Amino acid sequence: MKSKDIISQEVGAPIPNYTAHAVSVTLPTWEANVGYEEGQEWVVNKMNSGYPRFFIHSWIQELSNLLELSYGKDGERCMIFPTYKIAKSCRKFIKEKTLLSNCNVRILQLSTPSPTQGEDESIRIETNFSVVYFPSSEYPLAKQYWQHAGQGISSRMGEYILSELKPKLLELSEHNSKDLQQKQKAKNKTSRRSSSLRSSSSTATAVTEKEYSTFIEERFGRNLDLRFNKEARIILQKRISTKINEADDNQKNKLSKDDVYLFPSGMASIFNAHQAILLSFPERAAKQKSVCFGFPYVDTLNILKKWGQGVHFYGFGDDDSLLELERKLETGELQILTLVCECPSNPLLKTPDLIKIWELSRFYNFTVVVDETVGNFLNIHVLPYCDILVSSLTKVFSGDSNVMAGSLVLNPSSEHYQILKQTLDEELYEPESFWAEDAIYLERNSRDFESRSSRINENAMAAVKLFQETPLIKNIYYPFLSPTRKHYDALKTPKGGYGGLISIVFANENDARCFFNEVKLSKGPSLGTNFTLCSPYVILAYFQELDEVEKWGIDRNLIRISIGLEDRSELIDTFQKALKVVKEQHDALEE
């Protein structure tokens, strides 16, 4: 893979280049990341792409505008979800959190046409979706649900619906407004550039990207038949269950594909895991809080805070924290519903003592949910030590950075297996929430998951060795170097490595900025991509809470690097060139 085929240094451009459904976006300098967080126009006005839970894709924006004009009432905004059940969940969240004394939230169910006789079923599929309408003042609440729960329609689903319904929606909107242009102008003043969204993507740009995307996808044989979407889902479930089973020949109860659930994003998997526990144990859920063990990705903590009774936060996630938790459980000071953790944690790459946590959970009767996105189930085998295993398939499982997805896996050996499975199957899980075309793309992308994961592990170890030799770097966070390595090694599979995610902290803030600005790699959010991706992670994820997160050992100048598949010597050379510039600048300032 040639870096020049991926890298963009243009603010707001998709990563990879010319990818209409890219899940990352270029923020090429430290200043651009700060500007994005501060809402500075020189950044936000160029944002033509973004991580989909934070940035609503231009096709979804256009579809939302048309649905507001066609079916909306005065002062209403809308959001689009793939099923009625998810739309009801969003409506419930808005009505519970609103400060309005009378907040009218309504749901409209719509569908695209099914193929008629003689039409090509390979490119047309009947698609049902639901639209939640709410007062425009409550848009920030709706956006919170979109971001935290991760269950909004995907950009591919939005593109498909738009292609099928746009003429009808235009006709309806013209009928409902004597002066469509005037109404649209008025809506645009208050619509798409809120502080929480910070986007100004244009349809024209999206069309241009679509042309490039179509060319690239056809060139690589990735325009696949929509009729195969059910088969693609089954293959994905079997691929995941088979790889997990291979990690443990002694596993008593082998994992079935039916224990693997697919969702439209990794956060949707976490959200549904938490919902499954709340619904499965209602009496305890009404009284007991959850535990978040270790410093997690931001929206995991948001889910635990905003649904259920709240959360006890053990942000250090180390052995001392576990001893403190055990003491409180033993004395009865705490009775908890569930414990949620990452393995390893993001961004400090700490591995919790899952074996001990599992023992405590069986004794004190709480469930365990583990997010193994960073480790991935080829490197570590954690299913025996949790009730529910969740992962973002958007990351290394896909690799191509062009599709969002998540998985939820039930442990068939868990004493809570039957009740959790019943809850998921009867009350929560809807296969159609994961859009057909996304399933097809994910199946295609993940065929070489195993070989890619292995190469990423090897590249990452080489990068870590280089950083260890760099005196200007004061901290390197990586499972192999972590004080918690013994816990990681206890979970590591025979062929597993230590993953592709590395976090580094320079001793000097100016050195961190210089390195990030100089390194000639893709720069944007996300991880697990086939190409190396850098981000000033703490600035981007916690800009409003920098002082707070530092209490948990999270340095504001931390740079997170997700290692990719580049030629190893080329990758190391890229890092060395940036480090050389850093040293030259550092020495000049010291003189």
Mean pLDDT score, 550-576 = 97
Here the tokens at position 448 are: 């070489």
Strand stretches in 264-310, DSSP E: 289-293
* 449-590: CATH number: 3.90.1150.10
Q: What one-letter code names the amino acid at 153?
A: I
Tally: H helices and E strands in the chain: 22, 17
**Structural Rg of the chain based on CA atoms:** 24
pLDDT at 187 over 70: no
pLDDT at 67 over 80: yes
> Is the bond preceding residue 525 a cis peptide, omega within 30 degrees?
no
- Report DSSP state, residue 473: E
- Give the Cβ contact number of residue 410 at 10 Å: 25
pLDDT, residue 329, reads 98
Q: Report the chain's mean pLDDT, rounded to a whole number.
A: 90
Here the tokens at position 237 are: 């479930």
Note the pLDDT tens digit of each residue in 122-137: 788 899 999 999 999 9
pLDDT, residue 208, reads 40
Alpha carbons within 13 A on the beta-carbon side of 511: 21
Residues of the chain with CATH 3.40.640.10: 226-446
| Measured CA angle at 107 (ends 264, 67), to 5 deg | 80
pLDDT at 567 over 90: yes
- Give the Cβ contact number of residue 510 at 10 Å: 13
Q: What is the percentage of the chain residues whose pLDDT exceeds 70?
A: 90
pLDDT, residue 223, reads 57
Q: Are 390 and 522 in contact (CB under 8 A)?
A: no
* 226-446 is a CATH 3.40.390.10 domain: no
Q: What is the percentage of the chain residues whose pLDDT exceeds 90?
A: 82
pLDDT at 194 over 50: no
Note the pLDDT tens digit of each residue in 510-524: 999 999 999 999 999
User: From edge to edge, which strands make up the β-sheet containing 559-562?
Assistant: 473-477, 501-506, 559-562, 533-535, 522-523
Note the pLDDT tens digit of each residue in 219-261: 344 456 888 999 999 999 999 999 999 988 776 778 999 999 9
pLDDT, residue 188, reads 54
pTM above 0.85, yes or no: yes
pLDDT at 544 over 70: yes
HEC secondary structure over 62-114: HHHHHHHHHHCCCCEEEEEECCHHHHHHHHHHHHHHCCCCCCCCEEEEEECCC
Q: What one-letter code names the amino acid at 276?
A: A
Here the tokens at position 195 are: 């502080």
- Residue 170's H or E segment, with its range, is helix 155-176
Residues of the chain with CATH 3.90.1150.10: 449-590
- Report DSSP state, residue 380: B
CA-CA-CA-CA dihedral for 376, 475, 574, 512, to nearest 10: 120
pLDDT at 186 over 90: no
CA-to-CA distance for 389 and 386, rounded, in angstroms? 7
Q: What one-letter code names the amino acid at 348?
A: L
pLDDT, residue 212, reads 43
Note the pLDDT tens digit of each residue in 345-385: 999 999 999 999 999 999 999 999 999 999 999 999 999 99
Q: Are 451 and 497 in contact (CB under 8 A)?
A: no
